[in-house]
Structure formats: structure tokens, C-alpha cells
Amino acid sequence: MTCQDCKFYVQHYFKRGRSYAKVFYGHCAHPRLKERKPNNPACDRFKELPHTTKSSTTDAPNRQSLTPAPLETV
């Protein structure tokens, strides 16, 4: 088990032309932000990612995950 297999791990990307490429770096979002590399051993807060099918065409994040959530007005 490594950080990249955890649901709290957030992979970082850089924009290359019109696409995105993974960098060997990310962060853990539980319970606070911590710098992590994908191959770090998993910690005691590890939660397995749900099983999903991986697209073979790209490693880029989907556009929805890059769009900030709208702010609510009160």
C-alpha cells in the first residue's frame, strides 16, 4: 500500500501544451495538507480507493476536477 492508492492522495499535474502530465509529487488531504510522493508507504489513515476503470488514453485529471466549486450566497 502506498499513498497513490489512498483516497486522500491528490496527484499534482503540470500543463504541457494542451494537455496535463503527472509530476512525481502530490499531497495528502487528511486531516491537513502534507506533501507526499506517490510511492510513500501508506500511513495509518489509509483508505483504499474505490475500484474504477482507468482510461488508457490519458493520465490527465478530468476538467470537472479542475473547476472550483461555485460559492454559495446567503
Q: What does DSSP assign to residue 4? A: G
Q: What does DSSP assign to residue 52? A: -
Q: What are the structural domain ranges in the chain?
A: 3-66
Over the stretch 46-71, which tens digit does the pLDDT of each residue have? 888 887 555 544 455 554 455 555 55
**Helices and strands (H, E) in the chain, number of each type:** 1, 3
* Rg over CA atoms, the chain: 14
Q: How far is CA 5 from CA 50, 69, 70, in A?
A: 9, 25, 29
Give the confidence band of 19 by pLDDT, cuts at 50, 70, 90: very high
Mean pLDDT value across residues 33-52:
82
Higher-pLDDT residue of 61 and 44 is: 44
